[in-house]
Structure formats: C-alpha cells, structure tokens
C-alpha cells in the first residue's frame, strides 16, 4: 500500500547519497551511452525520495482502489464509447475520453489523489512540481479547489495555452528550463529550499495509483477488451492502468505508444531501465519526458505486452480523423493510439476490441490548424501545383474550368509572367481542395493530359489510400 508518509520525506542532495556504484559510473562513461546522459543544465542535483532508482516502488491493485475511493466526487467518470472509426479500420475501437476532464486531461486523477494525502501542515504550505502542461493544469485546478497553494515550473517548450490556464487557476507559474529534465531540476531545488513536497507528475506512487483509476472504469465500461493502447511519457499513466487491468482482466493486452521524437520508454526497455533520452520537438508534447520514472518502469515492465513507436505524421493525421469522425479536439499525445492504428501497427487486432486512451485535448489552436492542413495535404485532399498556361485571353479561365469540371475547389490561386521565357505563357500557382486521394489522382491525370508543364508539390509525408482509412 502507498503510505501517506512518503510525502513527508524532504529531498536530499546528491552528494549525501553514495553514488560510487562502479557499475553505474562505468556505464554512464561508456561511448555508447553518451546520448543517455542529460545535459549539465538538467543533471539532477537533488534526489526525489519517492522516486529512488535503486529502490523503485511497485504500486498495487489495492493502491489503485484506494485512490478511486479518495478521488471519487472530484473527478469526472468519462465516457468510453465505440468509435465511428471501427468500420473503416476493421477493429472494434472504443475511445476512453479522458480529454473531457475539466482541465482537458487524465492528469487530474493523480494530482487530486496526491493533494488529498497531504498532512494539514503540508496543505497549508503547498506543493511544487514541474510539468509540460497537463499535470500542471490538473494540479493547479485541484489545488485551487482544495485551497492548497501550487507552484509549477514549466519548461520553455510548454504550450502557451497551458501556461495561461494554470495561472488562471491561481498557481504560481515559473517558465524555466529548456526541457522537462531542466524544469524538474529547478522545481526540486525549490522543494528542497522551501521544504514543500515535490509532486512528480508521472512517477510518485500516489500519482500512478490515481491514473490507475482509469483502468477500473475501462473494465466496467468495456468488458472483455482485447487490448488497451496507452500513450506513454514518463510512464505513470500506463503503469497505473496496467496494474488495474492485469488484476481484473489479465487476458487484456497492455500496449504502450510513444512518438518517434521522444521514445524514452523504448530506450528504457533497450537499456534495461530508465535512461536519459534526448527528445525532439513533437506534436505529442505531453509525451516529451526525457527519462521514464523508475517506479512507473518497475511497475509496468512485467505487465507490458508491447511498446509501439509511431511516426509524428500519423499523429497529425489521427488528430484530423478524430475531429472529422468523432468531433473530438485532441492533442498529439491523445491521438497517439489512433495514429498507431492508422499506421497499420495494430493490424493483428482486426476483428477485436481495442480501447484507445484519448487522454488529452489541450492543443494550441495554431498547432491544431497546422495538423489539420498537414493531414489534408498528406492525404491529397489539399494539393499544390504550378502549371504553365497560355497567356492569351481565356487561358486561365480554361484552367479554372478544367479544375471545376471534376468538382475540385480552388483555395488559392496566383499567377506570374515576369520570370517566364515564353512571353505568351503565364505560370499559375494553385492550392486546391479535393474529396479524397482518388479525386486528387483524377485531377493530376487531367492536368497532365492538358498541359505540358505541370509541377506538383508533394508533401514530405504522402499517404496513399491503401495505407490508411
């Protein structure tokens, strides 16, 4: 059982720890492990007593049940419905809609569980944490509801929308650190100096247990699921869910998914434990945690059936699909499970029941717009081309007529003359909207039949009809 006492412990400096373990030192110094060392700015100088790599804590089913009892009443029981995408994919897809929590993600569960376990003194002094956004939002909101002061350090890469929302919940927000590892280091130092508990958003046992309550709900809502696909960042979400699911429904497969830009969990599996993995900018910013939590890793490792790394482009397309087919506005992390299906990485579940954890909806509007456009371009539903037409009266009209004759809509059009050799020609640049991939091919064929000089701007990531639905 997770003890309340765990929150009482003050962080200790690294120097106070015996870090002369020769094996660890050797492996950190070896050539092949260079990429696994954090930059100096992010190297931990303060240890979190609740997340001790040498003594990881494995959470139990009882911890999850206790958390469910504690947070009941303060958290929404989110729907888990069969998706419209089931027909096209051939997989019985169920969406657990955690983005419908008040702050837009599942993170409220763990945060509330943690805050409710504080002593009266700690509740008065408040807590400190580091987060890319969703954990900060959940913690700030429940801190406000429970009247507990919250300080959050958010890295510079944190989406602005999330930063502003935390402030609106009354949290003290500091924007510091290049990435999560650096922000965490700063928050740990504040925790040590102010003697306020540090809330590890993905690895504290009380956080993992809180996230695990989703697993209890899924068993109730979607009996006999063949698999549950869980996006992975620091690993707390999947660790909690796996603990609940493997106790109540051991035959259900637990599948983790992460972006190819931040594959920290896959790297941890390769190395046999959490290891620093440099993260690149990703649409799935909620998953950008450079090092998986040690408690989360130890808890989920024996329960995990498979880990999938999905390409960013599929995440953009999944965001588009969820808007069009489900009317769900979802952030990259929340769309990662569907991205794996679109990419054909879960084809073995055709005809089976799969629950996708749609865990967050906090996406910047500009990023959202870009995802939609990229997704449309990838499918050929948005096409860009340059075509040289006659500059005689009616030349451009003829082109427009040809485009409209097959029901394609012109979105943008411009023409130029000055740089062409042939003075009787004009180059027309077009962006058009088509109905689908086949429609785009029909237009391509027509243009090539009617004009000698046509150049199509292919998107960096093109999806052919057969590859996705």
Q: Which one, 56 or 286, has the nearer CB to ligand PLP? A: 286
Rounded to a whole number of angstroms, the minimum distance from the CB of residue 336 to ligand PLP is: 8
Q: Return residues touching ligand PLP (CB under 6 A).
A: 105, 134-135, 202, 231-238, 286-287, 289, 331, 333-334, 359-360
Q: Which one, 91 or 363, has the nearer CB to ligand PLP? A: 363
Rounded to a whole number of angstroms, the minimum distance from the CB of residue 35 to ligand PLP is: 21
- Start-end of H helices in 255-383: 264-271, 294-300, 312-326, 332-342, 365-378
Say which residues have a Cβ less than 8 Å from residue 148's Cβ, sequence separation at least 6.
115, 118, 123, 126, 127, 142
H or E segment and range at residue 186 = helix 180-194
Q: Which one, 105 or 299, has the nearer CB to ligand PLP? A: 105
Rounded to a whole number of angstroms, the minimum distance from the CB of residue 207 to ligand PLP is: 8
- CA dist., res. 373 & res. 185, Å (int): 37
- CA dist., res. 265 & res. 309, Å (int): 9
Residue whose CB is nearest to ligand PLP in the complex, by number:
360
Rounded to a whole number of angstroms, the minimum distance from the CB of residue 391 to ligand PLP is: 53
Q: Which one, 183 or 232, has the nearer CB to ligand PLP? A: 232
Rounded to a whole number of angstroms, the minimum distance from the CB of residue 58 to ligand PLP is: 16
**Beta carbons of 139 and 111 less than 8 angstroms apart:** yes
Q: Which one, 287 or 307, has the nearer CB to ligand PLP? A: 287
- CA dist., res. 164 & res. 181, Å (int): 21
Say which residues have a Cβ less than 8 Å from residue 398's Cβ, sequence separation at least 6.
389, 390
Rounded to a whole number of angstroms, the minimum distance from the CB of residue 245 to ligand PLP is: 15
Q: Which one, 67 or 237, has the nearer CB to ligand PLP? A: 237
- CA dist., res. 308 & res. 14, Å (int): 34
Q: Which one, 166 or 232, has the nearer CB to ligand PLP? A: 232
Nearest to 234 by CA among 289, 308, 299, 275: 289
Rounded to a whole number of angstroms, the minimum distance from the CB of residue 167 to ligand PLP is: 18
Secondary structure (H, E, C), 373-430: HHHHHHCCCEEEEEEEEECCCCHHHHHHHHHHHCCCEEEEEEEECCCCCCCCEEEEEE
Q: Which one, 282 or 440, has the nearer CB to ligand PLP? A: 282
**Tokens 């040809």 correspond to what residue?**
402
Rounded to a whole number of angstroms, the minimum distance from the CB of residue 150 to ligand PLP is: 16
Say which residues have a Cβ less than 8 Å from residue 302's Cβ, sequence separation at least 6.
none
């Amino acid at each position: 059982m997770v003890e309340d006492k765990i929150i009482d412990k003050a962080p200790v400096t690294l120097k106070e720890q015996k870090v002369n373990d020769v094996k660890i030192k050797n492996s950190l110094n070896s050539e092949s492990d260079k990429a696994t060392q954090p930059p100096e700015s992010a190297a931990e100088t303060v240890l979190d007593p609740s997340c001790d790599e040498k003594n990881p804590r494995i959470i139990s089913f009882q911890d999850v049940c206790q958390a469910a009892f504690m947070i009941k009443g303060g958290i929404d029981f989110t729907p888990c419905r069969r998706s419209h995408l089931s027909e096209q994919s051939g997989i019985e897809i169920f969406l657990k809609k955690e983005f419908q929590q008040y702050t837009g993600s599942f993170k409220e569960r763990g945060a509330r569980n943690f805050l409710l376990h504080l002593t009266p003194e700690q509740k008065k002094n408040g807590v400190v944490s580091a987060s890319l956004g969703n954990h900060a939002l959940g913690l700030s909101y429940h801190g406000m509801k429970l009247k507990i002061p919250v300080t959050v350090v958010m890295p510079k890469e944190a989406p602005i929308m999330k930063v502003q929302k935390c402030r609106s919940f009354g949290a003290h927000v500091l924007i510091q650190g290049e990435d999560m590892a650096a922000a965490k280091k700063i928050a740990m130092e504040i925790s040590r100096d102010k003697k306020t508990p540090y809330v590890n958003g993905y690895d504290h046992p009380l956080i993992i247990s809180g996230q695990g309550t989703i697993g209890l709900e899924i068993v109730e809502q979607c009996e006999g699921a063949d698999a549950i696909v869980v996006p992975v960042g620091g690993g707390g979400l999947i660790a909690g869910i796996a603990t609940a699911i493997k106790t109540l429904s051991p035959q259900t497969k637990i599948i983790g998914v992460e972006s190819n830009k931040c594959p920290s969990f896959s790297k941890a599996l390769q190395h046999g434990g959490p290891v620093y993995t440099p993260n690149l900018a990703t649409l799935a910013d909620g998953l950008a945690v450079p090092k998986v939590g040690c408690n989360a890793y130890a808890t989920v490792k024996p329960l995990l059936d498979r880990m999938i790394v999905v390409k960013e482009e599929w995440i953009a397309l999944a965001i588009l699909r969820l808007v069009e087919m489900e009317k769900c506005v979802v952030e990259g992390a929340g769309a990662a499970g569907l991205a794996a299906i679109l990419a054909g990485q879960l084809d073995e579940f055709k005809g089976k029941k799969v629950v996708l954890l749609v865990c967050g909806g906090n996406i910047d509007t500009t990023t959202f717009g870009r995802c939609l456009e990229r997704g449309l371009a990838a499918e050929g539903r948005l096409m860009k081309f340059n075509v040289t037409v006659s500059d005689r009266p009616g030349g451009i009209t003829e082109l427009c007529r040809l485009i409209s004759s097959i029901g394609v809509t012109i979105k943008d059009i411009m023409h130029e003359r000055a740089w062409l050799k042939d003075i009787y020609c004009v180059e027309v640049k077009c962006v058009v909207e088509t109905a689908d991939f086949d429609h785009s091919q029909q237009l391509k064929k027509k243009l090539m039949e009617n004009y000698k000089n046509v150049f199509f701007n292919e998107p960096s990531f093109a999806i052919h009809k057969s590859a996705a639905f």
